Amino acid sequence: MLNLSDGAIAMQITTFLHAALLVSDLAKAEHFYGTVLGLAKVDRVLKFPGVWYEVGGFQIHLIAAQGLSKLQNSEKWGRNRHLAFAIADLSAAKEQLIAHGWEFQMSASGRSALFVQDPDGNVIELGE
| Residue span of the structural domain in which 74 resides | 18-127
Q: Report the run of H or E that residue 30 belongs to, with start and end.
A: helix 26-30
Residue 101 domain-assigned (yes or no): yes
Closest CA to 39 of 71, 16, 61: 61
pTM of the model: 0.79
Q: Tell me the pLDDT band of 104, cut-offs 50, 70 and 90.
A: very high
Cα–Cα distance measured from residue 93 to residue 105, given in angstroms and rounded to the nearest whole number:
12
Q: What's the CA gap between 41 and 34, in Å, rounded?
A: 7
Q: With a cut of 90, say whether residue 7 has pLDDT above it.
A: no
Within a domain: 6: no
The model's pLDDT over 33-74, given as tens digits with 9 standing for 90+, comes to 999 999 999 999 888 899 999 999 899 999 999 887 778 888
Quote the pLDDT of residue 69.
77
The whole-number pLDDT of residue 21 equals: 92
Question: For 8-31, what is the mean pLDDT?
Answer: 85
- Whether 12 is covered by a domain: the verdict is no
**What is the number of domains present in the chain?**
1
CATH value at residue 59: 3.10.180.10
pLDDT of residue 101: 95
